[in-house]
Amino acid sequence: MDENNRKKKGWLKTLGEALYMELREHRSSFIVYFTLRLLVIVMLVLQLLNRNYENVFLCGLTLLLLVVPSFVQVTFKVELPTVLEIIILIFIFAAEILGEISEFYLLFPFWDTVLHTLNGFLAAAIGFSLVDLLNRSEKLAFSLSPVFTAIVAFCFSMTIGVVWEFFEFGMDQLAGLDMQKDTVIHAIRSVNLDPEGRNVPYVIDGITSAAVNGKELGLGGYLDIGLIDTMQDLIVNFIGAAVFSVIGFFFVKSRGKAKVAGRFIPRRKDEDRDFLRIVMEEEPAKTKAEKEESEKVLNGKMAGDEKE
């Protein structure tokens, strides 16, 4: 049991050193990471003082998520371009700290739309990089055309978007949340309202007020429960995915020479940037040097005792 604990501690120490080297590799992304991490810690302290432990959990989750880009690069030996890494870090901060804790989703109606568009873009980047890395692999006989690569990236992004909407719906139904935000509308069309019971949409427009069980809602219209929000999220996800898929298409078409696209396309790490391997190779040398130093100190102490 002790041996297993030592191995785990050793592995965590090695991973920690590799993550630190990864974080310090690009100065601009490290500054963004350090700044956002500091802001999250300040927010965490404030939420602790207010005894808002749910937000404390969100702050802790955000601190963990901010390390994910570096963790992926270290463990999967993938190099994220600096621009893409900064976008991911800002996206995490904007979604969790600004969106949830600072309630930007309520203060700025466009906030959720912007983040879902960005999510479509980032998910397409991930899907594209997976296919592109397989295309470039020397171990696999795997080659897709630029068009098919772009289609795979687009479909991957849309799948992520749909799965997220499933999650929102599930949380609303099972946990009683309101992740699928409601929308105030002024017209409804439903076959259920047709007085003759036919499959003909009956229209009620010009709605300025609505009541439930005799109680006025005070919304200035009728309440759509989640459908419009879900469809808007999927539409903007579609736009973000389509934009990146076009960028990815030209990147593959130009055989990686497109400079703008290259700022968003992850690539395989170079050998001299594989920090996990570098730390693991340096570890035995450090251990040997430390052992020799300890022996020198011990021998010197024993020699001093003999003289006395």
The first and second tokens of residue 152, run together, are 């795979």
User: Is the confidence at residue 204, as pLDDT, over 50?
Assistant: yes
Using a 10 angstrom Cβ sphere, with 0-12 exposed, 13-18 middle and 19 or more buried, the burial of residue 167 is exposed
Query: pLDDT value at position 271?
Result: 75
Domain boundaries, the chain: 1-102+269-285, 109-179+226-267, 183-224
What pLDDT digit, counting tens, does each position of 116-155 carry?
999 999 999 988 888 877 776 666 555 678 888 899 999 9
CA distance 119 to 2: 44
Average pLDDT over residues 245-250: 89
Place of tokens 């022996």: 295
CB 79 within 8 A of CB 262: no
User: Is the confidence at residue 290, as pLDDT, over 60?
Assistant: no
> What end-to-end distance do the CA atoms of the chain give, in Å?
43
The first and second tokens of residue 183, run together, are 């929308």
pTM equals: 0.80
CA distance 308 to 306: 5
What pLDDT digit, counting tens, does each position of 73-120 carry?
888 888 888 999 999 999 999 999 999 999 999 899 899 999 999 999
Query: pLDDT value at position 102?
Result: 94
